[in-house]
Structure formats: C-alpha cells, structure tokens
C-alpha cells in the first residue's frame, strides 16, 4: 500500500481489527484546565482527531467538554475521533481497573474508548492519593499485584465492548515481552518517549514485527532547549526543505513508522504540527545518523510522572 505523503491522512491499523488510529495525535498533558480547553479546542479546529488523555493529567473533564462541544456542533461524529486515556498506577489491582475506566469515561463524557493504556508498569499503593509516598518522600509501590494481573483486567474491558483496543505505556522491551507472550489480547499500542535523541530502535523493530503500533510521545523533545528542535541537523533540513524544525521532527517520526503525540498550545502551532508531510529519503537518513542521546522524561524508571509539575 502506498504511504500518503500528507501525514494528516495517515491511519495506522490496530491489531484485533480494533480500527485505525490517526498517526498524528494531540496530547493533553497540560496542567491548567483553561489552557487545556483552549489548546484542545484549537487542536480539534485545526483538524486533529486523535486525542491522548490520562486519568493522571487531572483534566479529562476539560478535554471531554471540548470533545462534547465539537460533537454537538455537528460535522464531527464520534467515529471520526480516536480517544485514548490511561489507567493510573494506583489502580493496577484488577478490581480497581473497571471502576477507574468507568470514571475516566464519565469525565470524558464518552460511552466507549478507542484505546485504554496502562500508564506505567509500576503499581503504586492503591487509594485516592495518586502519588503515595512515605514520610521520607519515597514512592509507595504495591507488590500485591503483577502487571499481568492488570493486563487480564484490561482484556476484560475489551471483552465487554466499551474499549476497542488496549496497550501499555512507559515500558521497555524487557517489560513488554512477558506481557506480549502471555496476553490473550495482544497489546495494540505501546506509548513511549521517542525522538532523534531517543530512537528506541529495538522496541520499534519488535513493534513493527508484531503489528503493535509504536506511539511516540515528546517527538519534539517536549520543547526543551537545547534539544531536537534546535539540533543543527534538524535546522539545516528545515531550511533546505522549507518546513519548520517541528514539522521535520514530526515527519521523521511518521516516516520511520511510528505514530506520535504532540502538544501544540496555540492555534498556529496546532495547524503547523498537523501540516506534516513526507521528507526526502536523504533527510530521513541524515536524522537517523544523529548521535546525541538524551531522555527527557524519567517516568519509565520509577513510574513517577516526569512532565507533570510536583504536587499536581
Ligand atoms: N505516557 C507518558 O508517560 C507520557 C509522558 C509524556 C507525554 N505523554 C503524552 O504525549 C503528549 C506529547 O508530549 P509532549 O508534550 O512532550 O510533546 P512535544 O510536542 O514533544 O512537546 C510539546 C512542547 O513542544 C513545544 N512545541 C510544540 N509545538 C511546537 C512548534 N510547532 N514549534 C516549536 N515548539 C513547539 C511546546 O513547548 P514550549 O511551550 O515550551 O514552546 C510544547 O509544550 C503529551 O501531551 C501526553 O499526551 C505521555
């Protein structure tokens, strides 16, 4: 099948006939509700149809408001949207999975989800405190549940028909393999940090082999400077091909076979980040040769959120 060169049109098939995911996704990790509403509205108006949410972002209600308004205004049907949210670390115990899922759906104002992810492989002590810590400030983990126990409860959600696909986030290949092997319903998506400074080539190779969609977060290095947005290779390609550095990074992500999540916060950036099309092959090759290595988000090491301000 020929790849569309306008990546706005690109859809990635999910396993288990769970439908198609738009390759370009809008991420809602935005701390303030007002900013969440305006950025999500701008993204919807610009044409984003894939929205990545999480219980832990504490703004599902704000995102839901915008999606509901978009659906009510006409012109957009629920089937046109692809909505993901994530199970937080304090809800890994199987009996907590369905209630957490229902609570997210309720806040989003939806009656099904396109994708539900286990936010991180780390189980925290169950309860209402999302970041439980002891008096020394150490995270309180929960060793009374395994990731496979949680996965089985996720599979039940698919069986009940209100969630089309399930997957994992902030996991490495070693963590993914045993779940993949034991799963009755294989993970459809793996969401991890990826950009030219953290290409995650082994994980991407595995995902491609098994038909798992690799969904890159922080494709712009979370906007951190210095970072990929200011990399001299990226700037030179942007100047040469007449695109912005952000468009070059997003195109590279799609061309190497990943889907992506980006978080433009203004209408102009929403249009810019959706207006992504194929780079010449030599540009992709040059980006593949970048040797700088940097991870911007440490969540994968502890389960403690990296881009969310402390105490929120
Ligand atoms: N699973 C997880 O644990 C996890 C972790 C992190 C993120 N995520 C998901 O992934 C989404 C995307 O992550 P991200 O926010 O790191 O993505 P990103 O798109 O790499 O970074 C967003 C930042 O880049 C800058 N930016 C955006 N568009 C730009 C443009 N056109 N030109 C220049 N700078 C631009 C902005 O920073 P300035 O405002 O500073 O300019 C913005 O805050 C999140 O919203 C969330 O849904 C998941």
d(CA 131, ligand 1 centre) in Å = 22
**φ and ψ at 31, to 5 degrees?**
-60, -35
How many Cα atoms are found within 13 Å in the side-chain-facing hemisphere of 126?
13
Secondary structure letter of residue 309 according to DSSP? P
Q: What is the DSSP string of 12-53?
A: EEPTTT--EEESEEEE---SSHHHHHHHHHHHHHHT--EEE-
Model pLDDT, residue 87: 98
How many C-beta atoms surround the C-beta of residue 242 within 10 A? 7
Judge contact between 113 and 164, C-beta under 8 A: yes
Cα–Cα dist 16/97, whole Å? 21
pLDDT of residue 308: 78
**What is the reported pLDDT for 2?**
63
Measured from the CB, is residue 220 less than 6 Å from ligand 1?
A: yes
Q: Is residue 264 lining ligand 1, measured as CB closer than 6 Å?
A: yes
pLDDT at site 35: 98
Supply the residues annotated as catalytic: 57
pLDDT over 90 at 74, yes or no: no
Residue 202 above 80 pLDDT? yes
- Helix boundaries (H) for 109-162: 147-159
Considering only CA atoms, which of 283, 262, 284 is closest in space to residue 274?
Answer: 262
- Judged by average pLDDT, the poorest of 214-223, 279-288, 302-311 is 302-311
Residue 3 is classified by DSSP as P
Neighbours of 26 (CB within 10 A): 26
Q: For 129-168, write each residue's pLDDT tens digit.
A: 999 999 999 999 999 999 999 999 999 999 999 899 999 9
Which atom of ligand 1 is nearest to 269's Cα?
A: 31
Single out the residue of 302, 301, 300, 307 nearest to residue 132, CA to CA: 302
What tens digit of pLDDT does each residue of 165-182 get? 999 999 999 999 999 999
Question: What percentage of the chain has pLDDT greater than the value 70?
Answer: 98
Positive or negative, the Cα torsion across 233, 236, 242, 244?
positive
Q: Is 187 in the pocket of ligand 1 (CB under 6 A)?
A: no
Dihedral Cα 159, 165, 168, 172, nearest 10 deg: 110
Q: Is 36 in the pocket of ligand 1 (CB under 6 A)?
A: no
| The pLDDT of residue 311 | 60
Owner of token pair 């076979």: 257
Q: Rounded to whole angstroms, how far apart are CA atoms 167 and 10?
A: 20
For residue 265, the CA-to-ligand 1 centroid distance in Å is 9
SS3 label, residue 170: coil
Q: What is the pLDDT of residues 32-72, one digit of tens each?
A: 999 999 999 999 999 999 999 999 999 999 999 999 999 99
Q: Which of 79, 80, 20 has the alpha carbon at shortest distance from 44? A: 80
Of residues 287 and 75, which shows the higher confidence score?
A: 287
Task: Answer whether residue 1 shows pLDDT above 80.
Answer: no
Q: What's the mean pLDDT when you consider all of the chain?
A: 96
**pLDDT at residue 312 in the model:** 59
**pLDDT tens for each residue of 240-268:** 999 999 999 999 999 999 999 999 999 99
Q: Does residue 84 register a pLDDT over 80?
A: yes
Query: Does 184 score more than 90 pLDDT?
Result: yes
Token reading at 273: 């980040």
Q: How far is the CA of 30 from the centre of ligand 1 (A)?
A: 9
Cα 227 versus chain centre, distance? 20
Ligand 1 atom index nearest CA of 272: 31
Mean pLDDT over residues 84-109, rounded? 98
Quote the pLDDT of residue 310: 58
Closest by CA to 220, choosing from 262, 274, 269, is: 262
- Tokens of residue 71, six digits: 């659906």
pLDDT in tens, 210-237: 999 999 999 999 999 999 999 999 999 9
* Ligand 1 center to 223 CA (angstroms): 6
Q: Is the pLDDT of residue 119 over 70?
A: yes
Residue identified by tokens 């950025």 is: 39
Alpha-carbon distance values, 60 to 28, 63, 201, 212, 271 (Å): 9, 5, 32, 26, 23
């Amino acid at each position: 099948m020929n790849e569309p060169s306008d990546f706005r049109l690109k859809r990635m098939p999910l396993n288990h006939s769970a439908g198609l995911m738009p390759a370009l996704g809008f991420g809602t990790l935005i701390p303030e509700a007002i900013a969440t509403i305006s950025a999500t509205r701008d993204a919807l108006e610009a044409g984003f149809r894939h929205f990545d949410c999480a219980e832990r972002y504490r703004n599902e209600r704000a995102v839901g408001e915008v999606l509901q308004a978009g659906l009510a205004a006409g012109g957009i049907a629920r089937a046109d949207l692809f909505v993901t949210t994530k199970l937080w670390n304090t809800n890994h115990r199987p009996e907590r999975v369905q209630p957490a899922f229902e609570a997210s759906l309720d806040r989003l104002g939806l009656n099904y989800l396109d994708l539900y992810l286990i936010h991180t492989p780390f189980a925290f002590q169950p309860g209402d405190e999302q970041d439980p810590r002891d008096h020394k400030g150490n995270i309180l983990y929960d060793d009374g549940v395994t990731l496979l126990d949680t996965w089985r409860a996720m599979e039940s959600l698919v069986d009940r028909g209100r969630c089309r696909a399930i997957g994992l986030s902030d996991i490495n290949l070693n963590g993914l393999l045993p779940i993949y092997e034991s799963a009755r319903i294989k993970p459809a998506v793996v969401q991890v940090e990826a950009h030219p400074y953290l290409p995650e080539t082994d994980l991407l190779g595995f995902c491609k082999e098994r038909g798992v969609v690799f969904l890159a977060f922080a494709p712009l290095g979370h906007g951190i400077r210095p970072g990929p947005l200011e990399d001299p290779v990226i700037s030179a390609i942007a100047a040469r091909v007449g695109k912005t550095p952000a468009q070059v990074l997003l195109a590279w992500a799609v061309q190497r076979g990943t889907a992506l999540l980006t978080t433009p916060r203004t209408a102009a950036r929403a249009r810019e980040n959706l207006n992504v099309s194929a780079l010449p092959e030599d540009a992709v090759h040059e980006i593949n040769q970048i040797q700088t290595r940097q991870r911007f988000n440490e969540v994968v090491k502890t389960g403690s959120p990296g881009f969310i301000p402390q105490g929120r």
